[in-house]
């Protein structure tokens, strides 16, 4: 097994009532696990590809052999997106970001409430399955966007800071067709300290003209967070 399913950073019931334990169990143990398994299957006969982090793979899909490119896009994207999604949430989450991220959000969107409305619009407008994101563009400027399926903003040169999964598997047991209610409730579990640390990496650590450099730093940060979890 080249790529591994990380443990959830909290109990499956920890995000209740926003996200119920059954949804978390299926989402992590079945859906995320399937992306990891299928990514491993796709790269089985490609030792050079296996050496790269999942984030590096999707940052530059052109460097992935064509015959496995779609599988890596879907399953590598799924692995990366979910790995970050779990870390972007916490039972102690909610509120609004402070510091440089809070300032940047106010500057770009007018207010935190305006930002929330803009992200919700992206999430509601995404037809079918996908994600909505807060990203930094190549100038470090914040913006909201959405992606289809398991695509990630890095595939179009943007740096993802916070993403919300709007596949039905993420909310259907608790909210059925009410995607808007799920989004409204989700703000209560967003871990702004983690999102801020990702933003600070963009501000000070990574060259925005070099997404590969950012990818290796960001993925180290993700792995560091997982190691802390499994070590505790
Ligand atoms: Mn999902």
| Per-residue pLDDT tens digits for 26-50 | 999 999 999 999 999 999 999 999 9
Specify the pLDDT at position 189. Answer: 98
Ligand 1 mean position to 151 CA, how many Å? 12
Ligand 1 centroid to residue 170 C-alpha, Å: 5
- Report yes or no on 169 lying in a domain: yes
Q: How far is the CA of 81 from the centre of ligand 1 (A)?
A: 8
Comparing CA positions, the residue from 27, 31, 185, 171 lying closest to residue 93 is: 185
Whether residue 10 is contained in a domain is answered as: no
Strand-pairing partners, residue 191, are none
Residue 16 located in a structural domain: no
148 domain residue, yes or no: yes
- Work out the mean pLDDT of the chain and round it to a whole number: 93
Distance of CA 121 from the midpoint of ligand 1 (Å): 19
Q: Is residue 59 part of a domain?
A: yes
Prediction pTM value: 0.94
Quote the ligand 1 centre to 27 CA distance (angstroms). 6
Q: Residue 78 maps to which CATH number?
A: 1.10.287.990
Q: Which residues in 161-200 are b (16+ Cβ under 10 Å) and which e?
A: bbbbbbbeebbebbbeeebeebbebbbebbbbebbbebbe
Domain membership of residue 49 as a residue range: 21-87
Query: Distance, CA 53 to ligand 1 centroid (Å)?
Result: 20
Is 94 within a domain? no
Rounded distance from Cα 31 to ligand 1 centre (Å) = 7
Q: Which of 50, 65, 87 is the last residue of a domain?
A: 87
Residue 82 and residue 110 in one domain = no
Among residues 67, 87, 107, the one where a domain terminates is 87
Which residues make beta-bridge pairs with 190?
89
- Of 6-15, 69-78, 208-217, the poorest mean pLDDT is in 208-217
Q: If pLDDT is split at 50, 70 and 90, which confidence band does 207 have?
A: low
Percentages (nearest 5) of helix, strand, coil residues in the chain: 60, 10, 30
């Amino acid at each position: 097994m080249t790529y591994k399913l990380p443990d959830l950073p909290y109990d499956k019931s920890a995000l209740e009532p926003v996200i119920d334990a059954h949804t978390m169990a299926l989402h992590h143990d079945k859906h995320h696990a399937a992306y990891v398994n299928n990514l491993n299957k796709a790269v089985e006969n490609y030792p050079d590809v296996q050496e790269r982090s999942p984030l590096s793979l999707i940052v530059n899909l052109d460097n992935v052999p064509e015959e496995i490119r779609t599988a890596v896009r879907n399953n590598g994207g799924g692995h990366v997106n979910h790995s970050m999604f779990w870390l972007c949430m916490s039972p102690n989450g909610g509120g609004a970001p402070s510091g440089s991220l809070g300032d940047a959000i106010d500057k770009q969107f007018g207010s935190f409430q305006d930002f929330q409305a803009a992200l919700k619009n992206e999430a509601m407008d995404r037809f079918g399955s996908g994600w909505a994101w807060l990203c930094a563009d190549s100038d470090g400027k914040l913006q909201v966007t959405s992606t289809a399926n398991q695509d990630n903003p890095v595939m179009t040169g943007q740096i993802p800071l916070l993403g919300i999964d709007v596949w039905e598997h993420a909310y259907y047991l608790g909210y059925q067709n009410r995607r808007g209610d799920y989004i409204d409730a989700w703000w209560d579990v967003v871990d702004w300290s983690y999102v801020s640390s990702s933003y600070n990496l963009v501000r000070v650590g990574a060259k925005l003209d070099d997404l590969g450099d950012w990818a290796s730093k960001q993925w180290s940060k993700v792995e560091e967070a997982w190691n802390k979890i499994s070590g505790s």
